[in-house]
Amino acid sequence: PFSMSAVLTPLLGWRVDRSGGRATLCVWSAVAVALVHLALAVTALPASLLLLGLGAGYSVFASVIWPSVPFVVDSKALGTAYGVITSLQNLGLCLVPMAVAYVHPLTRDWRAPGLPLSEWSGVELFFSALGAVGILAGLALGCDPLVRAALNSPTGRLPTGARIFVQDGWERSPDLPRPPSPPAVPATDAVFAHRPARTTICLPLQPAGKASGASAVSP
């Protein structure tokens, strides 16, 4: 799965930037993860084939979750938002292995009816339950129609052109149009607007051999 993510995530991110659908894809990636772990627990399908589905789900999730933050969080809180997400991710990386160590001894003798004994079936069901929690979280994220519209838009804006939050402010503004950009200043004007005028002093020509300097000085 991680090898697939290393290859697919940039390509999927490029596609999502152009087509949108982040809120929808977030839910479907959780569905893929939950179904793959459920299949690993209760079916005899080859694990190598199912892991392809797990890699696809993880790639989709990684390509939509991180770019979604600036679309629904005010610019003044982006650092806090990314910090909270990273903290929760690391908390999961800390707690889930301990949970697996607890679940595995309790379920190592369980098996699905009609299938050979697999000591990891219970752990896979635990992972499938975590995927179900991810589905519920994705659905909850889409309950707000403004958030869903912003995340599913390629540009992260509402159909009116507004953002969820005013740029550099805390006021929610679903009905405000996009403020016009300031007029561009030509590069030549911007560079020379505060530059003092140059003065050219012309000196009379002197016969050859007597003048050692230039005939014009431009300070």
Question: What sign does the CA torsion over 29, 89, 153, 13 have?
Answer: negative
- Give Cα 59 distance to the centre of its chain: 12
For residues 71-79, average pLDDT: 84
CB neighbours of 131 closer than 8 A, spacing ≥ 6?
30, 31, 33, 34, 35, 37, 38
Model confidence at 183, pLDDT cuts 50, 70, 90, reads: low
Model confidence at 31, pLDDT cuts 50, 70, 90, reads: very high
Q: What is the dihedral of CA 121, 44, 59, 156, to 10 degrees?
A: -90
Model confidence at 86, pLDDT cuts 50, 70, 90, reads: very high
Q: Which of 29-33, 84-88, 151-155, 175-179 has the lowest mean pLDDT?
A: 175-179
State residue 218's pLDDT score: 44
Tokens for 201, please give them. 């002093």
From 168, 197, 192, 186, select the one nearest 70 (Cα to Cα).
Answer: 168
What average pLDDT is seen over the chain? 77
Cα separation, 214 vs 88, whole angstroms:
72
The pairing of strands 201-202 and 216-217 is antiparallel
Model confidence at 132, pLDDT cuts 50, 70, 90, reads: very high
State residue 33's pLDDT score: 92
Q: Assess whether pLDDT exceeds 90 at residue 78.
A: no
State residue 207's pLDDT score: 54
